[in-house]
Amino acid sequence: MELANQIVTGPDGLLPAIPGPLPGPKSAAELERLRELVYPGTSSGFAPFITDSKSGHYVTDIDGNTFVDLVSSSASIPLGAGRADLIDPLVETMREIGNEDSHGVASKMMLPLTEKLLEITPASLTRIDLGLNGTEVVETAIKMMRRATGRPMVLGFLGGYHGETSLTSALGAEQKETSRAIRSLAAGFAHAPYPNPYRSPFRPPRPGGSGDSTIDYIRDHLLFHAINPDEVAGVLIEPILGSGGCVAPSQEFWDALRALCEEFDWLLAVDEVKTGFGRSGKMFASEIWDLQPDLMCLGKAMGGGVAPIGAVLGSEKAMGGYDDVSTGSTWSWLPWACAASLATIEAYEREPVLENVLELERVGREKLGAMAFRFEEIGETRATGGFQAIEFVLDRESRDRDSELQELVAKRSAELGILMDSSSTSLNIQPSLLMPPDEFAAALNRVEQAIETSVTELSR
């Protein structure tokens, strides 16, 4: 039974009743005990409740409070929680096969999933390798870029997030804390600012240049002063900046980046761990700009929110000419995770997911745009499909970030029953891709109420 049929609605008539004080007594007791036992760097980030159950886009805690989930487990539950059509194939396959090290023994689920992934991804991708999650396949992609080209350097982008192992945190650069005491030990990476128009450090593109300021910087500065392009294996980039602020680059950037890769024979690798499987409004964000990447990393939503699984797909150039790179792990592509992934893809083919995402985008643009007009504390709002964000500033002219206000809005929103992701640069909104648009609009109304309360509370 859907949880939505059981909840008591609040004053808007669409969403659950507003929770009581957070954390509730049962959650408070368990959180206190967890903080005594769990690494402080993890336990300090816990939400102010203990989850009891999840269904669709709702989360219920052990105190009986129900929340609207606009986090979706860091975008890893694309179609809502607790779907029997995804869980049942998983359970059946687990009973039939259980666990298997798919790097040593192929299961009957592997070929169907491989063929389906190669069918729905860009035509440039002809090979696939196995992974447990997004971080693991990003590491694999880096290994393959270096092996395929014989070159050591990989170019990443400031603001990007690719995981938190030593290698992926050195490639990523969302915030300096992620790579503390690691970056100096991980050689072979260079970075340019992500093409973020709101926070670009560059002037408009120079006459006669590439047509994009970021690529002009790479050409005119990085490749002139610091890096020999013949030592660069390629570029690894999020097609839409995820945790770092939900930023979508321009067509001019992608055109100039492709030309740069072609000129110097670089591989283009896209990290679609978060953008993949519909969150951008396309099945894969690469489709928005008609990209034909050499490598594509998948994870998170690939398992439908019920199983951990990832994949790296590659062109013949990137993945077809060698067999001596060790990849993956024992738990990569477990048979039951493959079954869940196949069922997830079938759900996309059966249901109007992408159409609904575009409706969520429309609602977000309308509602968030109105908030930006109303509150001068909002520097910019962004909505590309189910990637949406609010960036708070101390001053619209200086654009200095207002992290205090951002954290307070996230807290007050949770108290109103709306869960969001307060990231390094923005308040990120990641609804279930099948969330009804009217409920999403009602949730954003409560977010607006939380902003109003927070601005008043800080009395700036």
CA distances from residue 408 to 380, 455, 457 in whole angstroms, order as listed: 18, 9, 9
Residue 458's Cβ-side half-sphere holds a number of Cα atoms within 13 Å equal to 17
* Helix (H/G/I), strand (E/B), else coil: 421: strand
**Lowest model confidence (mean pLDDT) among 164-168, 175-179, 302-306, 379-383:** 175-179
- 416 contact partners, CB below 8 Å, separation of at least 6: 18, 19, 446, 447, 449, 450
Tell me the pLDDT band of 167, cut-offs 50, 70 and 90.
confident
CA distances from residue 459 to 391, 403, 425, 448, 455 in whole angstroms, order as listed: 19, 15, 22, 17, 6
Label each residue of 163-177 as H, E or C. CCCHHHHHHCCCCHH
C-alpha angle 240-242-244 in degrees, rounded to nearest 5: 110
CA distances from residue 403 to 112, 162, 233, 447 in whole angstroms, order as listed: 46, 22, 36, 16
Q: Does residue 205 sit in the same domain as residue 342?
A: yes
Whether the per-residue pLDDT at 2 is higher than 60: the answer is no
pLDDT > 90 in the chain, percent: 87
Q: Which residues of 157-180 are buried (b: 16+ CB within 10 A; e: fewer)?
A: bbbbbbbebebbbbbbbbbeebbe
pLDDT in tens, 48-84: 999 999 999 999 999 999 999 999 999 999 999 999 9
Taking a C-beta distance cutoff of 8 angstroms, is the pair 382, 245 a contact?
yes
* Helix (H/G/I), strand (E/B), else coil: 434: coil
pLDDT in tens, 209-267: 899 999 999 999 999 999 999 999 999 999 999 999 999 999 999 999 999 999 999 99
- pLDDT value of position 376: 96
pLDDT > 70 in the chain, percent: 97
Structural domains of the chain, count: 2
Q: What is the mean pLDDT of the chain?
A: 94
Give dist(CA 447, CA 363) in Å, integer.
13
- pLDDT value of position 10: 67
Give 26: exposed, middle or buried? Use CB within 10 Å, 0-12, 13-18, 19+: middle
* Helix (H/G/I), strand (E/B), else coil: 318: helix
Among 319, 350, 381, where does a domain finish? 350
- 327 contact partners, CB below 8 Å, separation of at least 6: 103, 129, 130, 131, 140, 143
* Helix (H/G/I), strand (E/B), else coil: 389: strand
- 95 contact partners, CB below 8 Å, separation of at least 6: none
Among 316, 350, 384, where does a domain finish? 350
- 244 contact partners, CB below 8 Å, separation of at least 6: 159, 160, 161, 174, 194, 238, 423, 424, 425
Instruction: Please compute the mean of the pLDDT values over residues 149-164 and round it to a whole number.
Output: 93
Q: Does residue 99 sit in the same domain as residue 19?
A: no
Q: Does residue 139 sit in the same domain as residue 229?
A: yes
Q: Does residue 178 sit in the same domain as residue 287?
A: yes
Residue range(s) defining the domain that contains residue 369: 3-61+68-79+352-458
Tell me the pLDDT band of 353, cut-offs 50, 70 and 90.
very high
Instruction: Please compute the mean of the pLDDT values over residues 132-143 and round it to a whole number.
Output: 96
Give dist(CA 21, CA 14) in Å, integer.
21
Q: Does residue 110 sit in the same domain as residue 129?
A: yes
Among 309, 332, 350, where does a domain finish? 350
Report the candidate in 164, 286, 183, 283 with the shortest Cα–Cα distance to residue 237.
286
Tell me the pLDDT band of 8, cut-offs 50, 70 and 90.
low
Whether the per-residue pLDDT at 1 is higher than 50: the answer is no
Taking a C-beta distance cutoff of 8 angstroms, is the pair 231, 266 a contact?
no
Query: Parallel, antiparallel, or unpaired: how do β-strands 295-298 and 310-314 relate?
Result: antiparallel
- pLDDT value of position 7: 65
Whether the per-residue pLDDT at 184 is higher than 50: the answer is yes
Tell me the pLDDT band of 369, cut-offs 50, 70 and 90.
very high
Backbone angle region of 281, left / alpha / beta, with phi > 0 → left and psi within -120 to 50 → alpha: left
- pLDDT value of position 69: 98
CA distances from residue 270 to 55, 103, 237, 276, 288 in whole angstroms, order as listed: 31, 24, 5, 10, 13
Q: Does residue 232 sit in the same domain as residue 114?
A: yes
Q: Does residue 46 sit in the same domain as residue 108?
A: no
Tell me the pLDDT band of 5, cut-offs 50, 70 and 90.
very low
Q: Does residue 245 sit in the same domain as residue 312?
A: yes
Q: Does residue 45 sit in the same domain as residue 117?
A: no
Q: Does residue 93 sit in the same domain as residue 165?
A: yes
Q: Does residue 177 sit in the same domain as residue 300?
A: yes
Any idea which residue has 């560059």 for tokens?
202
Give dist(CA 367, CA 441) in Å, integer.
7
Give dist(CA 418, CA 425) in Å, integer.
19
- pLDDT value of position 339: 98
Q: Does residue 123 sit in the same domain as residue 232?
A: yes
Q: What is the CATH number of the domain that holds 152?
A: 3.40.640.10
Q: Write the DSSP symbol of residue 376.
A: T
Q: What is the CATH number of the domain that holds 426?
A: 3.90.1150.10
